[in-house]
Chain A
Amino acid sequence: MNLNAENIRRDIVVIGGSAGALSTVLAIVAGMPRDLPALVSVVIHRRANSEASHLHEIVARRSPLRVVEPVTDESSRLGTVYIAPADRHLMLENGHVRLSRSAQEHRFRPAIDPLFVSASQVHGHRVVGVLLSGGGSDGVLGLTAIKAAGGLCLVQDPAEAPVKTMPLNALQKDQVDAFVTSAELTAALPRLVRGETVALTPRPRPLRSDFCS
């Protein structure tokens, strides 16, 4: 199957993950060349007191792109990876990244839905949403919004995700364009950013029952 046959530049990359997502996030950012004109935003579920988790340093060490964990609202720039800080939702506005202590969603702050929904509202079909390993249902509503606005939705292959619930919850809905391995994601995202078509080997969509005894 072909992803992005329309050759739209999907340069607004929003990534959400929870338990088990960090290694995939690191692989994705490591695969983005220094001159990639993408606005990348990442929400990984973290505790309110996790400032000392060094998430920013861990990602920055692997990323050719500039990595920013905002402490306040700021102008957004292409060629940058924005990491949601502890205890704040990260949202995209026109030309800005915005932080908010608005209510927890899915019992998390930062949560994935506020990032995905805000990205879809501002950037429409330029958005590619990526939902990775984790428990719960955060991100499912966000992917629905991205899809409805003409964006592209990718979900980590549950067979590969250390925690499968979140990818499986997303795949139950019809708004997902493809489920992909970490390696496929890493190769595909820079090409989608540049508006190229990505060919994927078709395989049957995994079902929840495949992973339950």
Chain B
Amino acid sequence: MHTLPEDLTRNSGEHLSGLICPDCGGNLVVALIGDAHLHFRCRVGHSYALLELLAAKEERLENALWAAVYHLEELSALVNDVLPRVEHEPSLHEAFLRRRDLAADLSKAVRHLIAADQPLGRADPRTRPEPEGAP
């Protein structure tokens, strides 16, 4: 599936993209303005230049990974807390223990992925403000 339409030509108006808006989930349309400027806009009016869209997508990706960490850690803790309730059933108890430990291991792995990830557009020397009072 293509993210950008193949017939995207200079100043030919807005085309439907294969992308969703990082802020509301709506369809994004894209226009090529001038020679190089890709401009994205969704139905409700969220609007991005290419690098801004990439930064927003990177942010959504990190949020999704943290959501995965949260669900794994919550699941592991929940399974752990209900262990006493399944003690009378050894096979179930064993399955609960395995799930608790695997979920905990996976959450550690995703935390490592987040720590090792290198999103685009971070610590760009061109965008680093010099010490002056930014509002």
Which residues of A come within 8 Å of B, CB atoms? Answer: 18-23, 44-46, 50, 53, 55, 102-107, 111, 113, 135-138, 140-141, 144, 162-165, 168-169, 172-174, 211-213
Q: A164-B126, A174-B34 given. 4 additional CB < 8 A pairs? A: A103-B42, A104-B46, A107-B56, A165-B126
User: Which residues of the partner chain B approach A141 to less than 8 Å between Cβ atoms?
Assistant: 33, 37, 39
Most B CB within 10 A of own CB, among A21, A111, A163: A163
Contacting residues of chain B (17-47) with chain A, CB-CB under 8 angstroms? 23-24, 33-34, 36-37, 39, 42, 44-47
The reply to whether the CB of B125 lies closer than 8 angstroms to some CB of chain A is yes
The reply to whether the CB of B77 lies closer than 8 angstroms to some CB of chain A is no
Flag if B135 contacts A102 (CB, 8 Å): no
Contact A22-B134, Cβ < 8 Å, known A135-B127, A144-B33, A162-B129:
yes
User: Which residues of the partner chain B approach A212 to less than 8 Å between Cβ atoms?
Assistant: 125-126
Which residues of B come within 8 Å of A, CB atoms? Answer: 23-24, 33-34, 36-37, 39, 42, 44-52, 55-56, 124-130, 132-135
Report 8 cross-chain contacts, Cβ distance below 8 Å, ordered by A residue: A20-B132, A44-B135, A103-B42, A136-B52, A163-B126, A165-B126, A172-B37, A173-B34
User: Which residues of the partner chain B approach A18 to less than 8 Å between Cβ atoms?
Assistant: 134
* CB proximity of A19 to chain B, nearest CB, Å: 4
User: Which residues of the partner chain A approach B52 to less than 8 Å between Cβ atoms?
Assistant: 106-107, 136-137
User: Which residues of the partner chain B approach A23 to less than 8 Å between Cβ atoms?
Assistant: 132-133
Flag if A105 contacts B46 (CB, 8 Å): yes
Contact A106-B49, Cβ < 8 Å, known A19-B134, A20-B129, A211-B126:
yes
Specify the chain B residue showing the minimal Cβ separation from A113.
Answer: B47
* CB proximity of B35 to chain A, nearest CB, Å: 8
Determine chain A's interface SS by DSSP, over half rule. Answer: loop
Closest 5 CB pairs of A and B: A137-B49, A103-B45, A105-B47, A135-B127, A19-B134
User: Which residues of the partner chain B approach A19 to less than 8 Å between Cβ atoms?
Assistant: 129, 134-135
**Candidates A55, A136, A140; contact of B37 at CB < 8 Å:** A140
User: Which residues of the partner chain A approach B126 to less than 8 Å between Cβ atoms?
Assistant: 163-165, 168, 211-212
Specify the chain A residue showing the minimal Cβ separation from B39.
Answer: A141
User: Which residues of the partner chain B approach A140 to less than 8 Å between Cβ atoms?
Assistant: 37, 49
Flag if A213 contacts B135 (CB, 8 Å): no
Specify the chain A residue showing the minimal Cβ separation from B23.
Answer: A104
User: Which residues of the partner chain A approach B135 to less than 8 Å between Cβ atoms?
Assistant: 19, 21-22, 44-46, 50, 53, 55
